[in-house]
Amino acid sequence: MESIRSVSVLGCGLMGSGIAEVCLLAGLPTVVREVSDSRVDRGRGRIERSLEKAVSKGKITADERDEALGRLTMTVDLEPLATADLIIEAIVEHLEEKRKTFKAVEGVARKRAIYASNTSSLTLTQLAVASGRPERFVGLHFFNPVPVMRLVEVVRTLLTDPEVVDLCTDFTHKLGKEPIHCGDTSGFIVNRLLVPYLLDAIRALESGVGTVDDIDRGMQLGCGHPMGPFTLLDFVGLDTTYYIANIMFEEYRERRFAPPPLLKQMVQAGRLGRKSGHGFYEYPEA
Ligand code: CAA
Ligand code: NAD
6 among known catalytic residues: no
For 40-62, what is each residue's pLDDT tens digit?
Answer: 999 999 999 999 999 999 999 99
In this prediction the pTM is 0.97
CA distance linking residue 284 with residue 286, whole number of Å: 6
Q: Which of 57, 142, 148, 247 to mutate to test the pocket of ligand 1 (most atoms within 8 A of CB)?
A: 148
- Tell me what the pLDDT averaged over the chain comes to: 97
**Encoded amino acid at 93, one letter:** E
Pick the CATH number of 7-182 from 3.50.30.10, 3.40.50.720, 3.40.50.300, 3.30.200.20: 3.40.50.720
pLDDT of residue 285: 84
CATH topology of domain 191-276: N-(1-d-carboxylethyl)-l-norvaline Dehydrogenase; domain 2 (1.10.1040)
For 142-197, what is each residue's pLDDT tens digit?
Answer: 999 999 999 999 999 999 999 999 999 999 999 999 999 999 999 999 999 999 99
* Catalytic entry in 89, 118, 153, 276: 153
CA distance linking residue 244 with residue 247, whole number of Å: 5
119 within ligand 2 shell (Cβ under 6 A): yes
Q: Please state the domain extents for the chain.
A: 7-182, 191-276
Span from the CA of 207 to the centroid of ligand 2 (angstroms): 31
Identify the nearest ligand to the CA of 244 by its number.
2
Q: What are phi and psi of 137, to 5 degrees?
A: -120, 130
CA distance linking residue 80 with residue 124, whole number of Å: 25
Same fold, 7-182 and 191-276: no
120 among known catalytic residues: yes
Integer-rounded Cα Rg, in Å, for the chain is: 19
Q: How confident is the model at residue 18 (pLDDT cuts 50, 70, 90)?
A: very high
Q: What are phi and psi of 89, to 5 degrees?
A: -90, 125
For 61-105, what is each residue's pLDDT tens digit?
Answer: 999 999 999 999 999 999 999 999 999 999 999 999 999 999 999
**Encoded amino acid at 165, one letter:** V
